[in-house]
A = this chain, B = another copy of it.
Amino acid sequence: MQSKELRVNGQRLRESMEHMAKIGATPGGGVQRLALTDEDKQARDLFVRWLNDIELGVTIDEMGNIFGRRPSRNNSLPPVMSGSHMDSQPSGGRFDGILGVMGTLEVLRTLDENQVETERPITIVDWTNEEGARFSPAMVGSGVWAGALEKDWAYSRTDINDNRFEDELIRIGYKGKAACAQWPVYCYYEYHIEQGPILEREQKIIGAPKGIVCLHWYDVYLEGEANQVGPTPMEGRHDALCAAAEMILKVNELPERMHGNLVATVGEIQNHPNSRNIIPDKVHFTVDIRSWDDDHALRAWELLREEFEEIAARRGCPIKTEETWKVQHSPFDEKLVRRILDVADQLGYPNLHMVSGAGHDASYMNQVCPTAMIFVPSIGGRSHVEVENTSWEDCEAGANTLLHAILQSAQEG
């Protein structure tokens, strides 16, 4: 068989996915496979067994990242790496993360059964704790590997029951011996569900994000004056929740006022004393702004801040704002992105050059080596929920695209 005619086995990919979906399955059809839990261990054990079945060299590092290496004609060359993560959100879906790991496994199984030899080694990876749902923050395994986060700091993170990350890693038997530190990688691919509705709306099957948008997080604190609601006339009230409500709507209208290229969201709010007959005197809320254009995002925040000041002054509710986290937009490797679009074209899959609105392990890998991602449609744009779904046909199409992207990179000298 000509290598151009190679295709993954869609049925086998589906069976791998369905097998994994049983581990931590939730009644609503999703999965709960939080990092370093017994379910995570079960998934890891099964994954390692499958790696051994195709005789990959398995390495587990100090952060529990699992690597499986497929040798090549020239084993001294840095490998092509591909993978994602197997942990999930508390009420997560059956596709987020695991599709990139099972997709890569399917690629390697396909190469194996067709006895395809490559110039470079290919390394599959499962990164530890991408979600950050049990141990904050997210993307810790790839972050430590890439040198962006400190291992000891990661070890010291605790879950809500005060279990330490390192203790849980040891408990499930996945604190490996290999140093968690970057080694030469030729390029990195990550295959993932889109987690948004754009491919579906545009009737495309494959998305190749040109990179990941910037991420600006702010915290807003308002003070009002608590009084009993009955005896306190409307005039002269200082209601911190009303001030917050005005601001939340300003955030929601921001993208339109900035002529797009931006999403802005208030996801979290705390209200004090949160009693139905007392005027709120302390409100905290968050603002999340993302854009492909960092300056655009900053100008949007400046506009917001002026409006917030005006609202706070008018309502007599002193305001404090904090910049909590700021990550610049991160363009992927243009050649790899182009390759994914070309491969999709050759395979006959309608495709889209887009952006990724969410962070991924690919964000850290992008700091280390040429990186790109492959997206497939999320039905209804839903993710991080039990109803998260992608058609099996699209899963197969994404894996075929990944297969040929990896093959092209792995045949480069």
Contacts and interface: CB of A to CB of B under 8 A. Distances in A.
Interface of A: 194-198, 213, 215, 217, 225-234, 236, 239, 241-242, 244-246, 248-249, 252, 255-256, 263-269, 271, 274-280, 286, 288, 290, 356-359, 381-385
Given A248-B242, A249-B242, A252-B239, A263 B215 contact: no
A358 B197 contact: no
B248 A196 contact: no
A263 B226 CA distance: 15
Nearest to A232: B196
6 contacts: A229-B267, A230-B357, A230-B358, A231-B381, A245-B248, A246-B249
A218 to B, nearest CB: 10
Given A245-B245, A274-B268, A227 B384 contact: yes
A216 B196 CA distance: 42
A253 to B, nearest CB: 9
A241 B227 contact: no
B267 A280 contact: yes
Which interface residue of A225, A230, A280 has the most chain B CB atoms within 10 A?
A230
B197 A232 contact: yes
Contacts of A264: 234
Given A234-B255, A267-B280, A269-B271, A384 B248 contact: no
Which interface residue of A198, A228, A264, A279 has the most chain B CB atoms within 10 A?
A228
Contact of A227 (B228, B271, B279, B382): B382
Nearest to A254: B234
B229 A265 contact: yes
A236 B197 contact: yes
Contacts of A198: 231, 233
A228 B267 CA distance: 10
Nearest to A96: B228
Given A241-B248, A252-B242, A269-B271, A228 B276 contact: no
Contact of A276 (B236, B267, B381): B267
Nearest to A193: B231
Contacts of A359: 230
A117 to B, nearest CB: 38
Contacts of A215: 230
